[in-house]
Structure 1
């Protein structure tokens, strides 16, 4: 496959090439706009350094319980289980992820438009944004499978056609995150380096990769080098905690061998100035529930109900 002239982050290659420094800012807002939002200068500096931020108790207990009730209803909904956007665990009928959840749930849609969240998004991306992808991740007790090390941007670039690193993920815990139930692991500082991956992407790759990702993951040598340099962090905290992480931050999670389930809401904002082009891997675009192309209007804040911290 020939590299396109507009491809600044070549990946899914026939031969390996070395990792290289990212070409894009981490925080896009500058000057007075940088301080026009809820994130402090110290938090912005930490995000630039580490590629993620953690806030305990971002959602109040009542709101978490309502989302958890929704989750239980989805688990027992046969039509939801058969939906194309529902991914089950490998070899099982237990739900692993439900994609496009902001289009299925009014409560989730309102959360993505919460003024506090959108103000943070505007600070980080320096522009209006839309939802690129949303989902609920399930990780049941005893046998919830893990997620391999990867950069979301690598996949979104190769398989969705996201041109530049100008997207951010919000992950809100619906259950307590403990060291034992497969919490999210992140490599601080890894967002500053792009690691190209090797291997041709099959058509409809998502049908297998969402169950277990084996293509579009760093090789062991590159991964060891960057983890040896930066280490690994696994934030834990109570239900309602929020993790914000940059689209190129390497992350993964272990299998859940504890009896305690781990579930989280997950939504990705992409800048309206970073709309998807044709996938850089050369394949047809993935479905909209994975890489949204049909509804890219800037999100407007919903002030009828505010979630999140008050400080």
Structure 2
């Protein structure tokens, strides 16, 4: 498996704290990866509120909250390696805050503008602090042409930047998952930040696992290739950091704050 690892010789947590992201030294098991891919493809063919499409298109853009109704996805939430990584980076017990799969269809998958995830969680949900972590699992190989995630290394230490606060709480949640996001960092601001915070594309084979900070500035480009790019994101929040009164749908913001217990299998 190949994945971007610029932190050779630096511990996972040290790399995460310094750069705002890190690559796990392990990947998802092939059998589990195949099972998750199969379930994602099946869910993508269903019609339900949790399935989001590209604007004016029948191309699937994202799936949300799959763990709430699919046992394979629910089992992935409890994967021992994933849970241990989340607990290590957050620094204590965690619960699942958000489960999503971002899908970029061949030649059709659209960009995600520059933004910070914590802007949505703070302004829309009332999350007190960015004491959470995103764990990304590549369901497909990610290469420069199929719309990889690009992060501005170290930008997580800046707090919230840009014009993110312009979006008002209570907006249609679809504006939080489209190519026209409610809370963004402008292209001009991102270019300025990139001078001190070098952009890094997060590349890797199917099954590669990467973690990144809620406040890191990131984006991804259109998929200009013939290869699908699907990445599954598990967001874990510190149990002590749960929003008091989230308003967005439960498939976007999990209400159950019970600490996740690591376990194998689907039972």
User: TM-score normalised to the size of structure 1?
Assistant: 0.77
On the 8 A contact 1:167/1:270 being kept in 2, the answer is: yes
**Does residue 70 in structure 1 map to residue 32 in structure 2?**
no
**Which residues of 2 match residues 60-209 of structure 1 at below 5 A?**
60-77=29-46, 81=47, 83-194=48-159, 195=161, 197=163, 198-201=165-168, 203-209=170-176
Counterpart contact for 2:20–2:212, Cα < 8 Å: yes
How far the C-alpha of 1:136 sits from its partner, in A, is 1.5
Q: For 1:249, which of 216, 219, 244 is the aligned residue? A: 216
* 3-state SS in 1 of match to 2:196: helix
Matched, 1:298 2:238: no
DSSP 3-state at the match of 1:170? strand
Q: Secondary structure at the match of 1:234?
A: strand
Shift of 1:299: 1.0
Measured against aligned partners, the alpha-carbon deviations of 1:248-297 in whole angstroms (never above 9, x if no partner) come to 11111100010000012111000100010346xxxxx111111222x111
Q: Secondary structure at the match of 1:233?
A: strand
Q: Counterparts of 1:62 and 1:94 in 2: how far apart (Å)?
A: 27
Q: Would the aligned equivalents of 1:204 and 1:286 in 2 still touch at CA under 8 Å?
A: no
Which residue in the other structure is 1:53 paired with?
A: 22
Task: Specify every segment of 5 or more residues in structure 2 that has no aligned partner in the other structure, as ranges.
Answer: 1-8
Q: Distance in 2 between matches of 1:56 and 1:63?
A: 17
Q: For 1:74, what is the secondary structure of its paired residue? A: helix
User: Structure 1 residues 186 and 240, CA, compared in 2 at 3 Å: closer, same or farther?
Assistant: same
CA distance in 2, matches of 1:235, 1:105: 28
Aligned twin of 2:5: none
Answer with 60-69 or 159-168: which moved more.
60-69
Task: Please say which of residues 208-217 and 87-96 is displaced more in the overlay.
Answer: 208-217
Higher strand proportion (structure 1 or 2): 2
| Contact 1:184/1:253, CA 8 A, preserved across alignment | yes
Normalising by structure 2, report the TM-score: 0.89
Of residues 155-164 and 222-231 in structure 1, the stretch that sits farther from structure 2 once superposed is 222-231
Q: CA deviation at 1:94?
A: 1.7
Q: Any stretches of 5+ residues in structure 1 without a counterpart?
A: 1-39, 280-284, 306-311
**C-alpha spacing 1:304/1:91, structure 2 compared with 1 (3 Å):** closer
What number of residue pairs does the alignment pair up? 256
Could you tell me how far apart the structure 1 residues matched to 2:80 and 2:44 are? 30
Q: Match of 1:42? A: 11
Call closer, same or farther: CA 1:262–1:286 in 2, change over 3 Å.
same
State the structure with more CA Rg.
1
The reply on whether 1:212 has 2:173 as its aligned counterpart is no
Query: Secondary structure of 2:244's match?
Result: coil
Contact 2:133–2:213 (Cα < 8 Å) also in 1: yes
* Conserved 8 A contact 2:68-2:251: no
Runs of 4+ in structure 1 deviating by more than 4 angstroms, as ranges, are none
Q: 1:56 to 1:74 in 2, by over 3 A?
A: farther
Equivalent pair of 1:56/1:237 in contact (CA under 8 Å): no
Do 2:114 and 2:186's aligned partners in 1 also have CA atoms closer than 8 Å? no
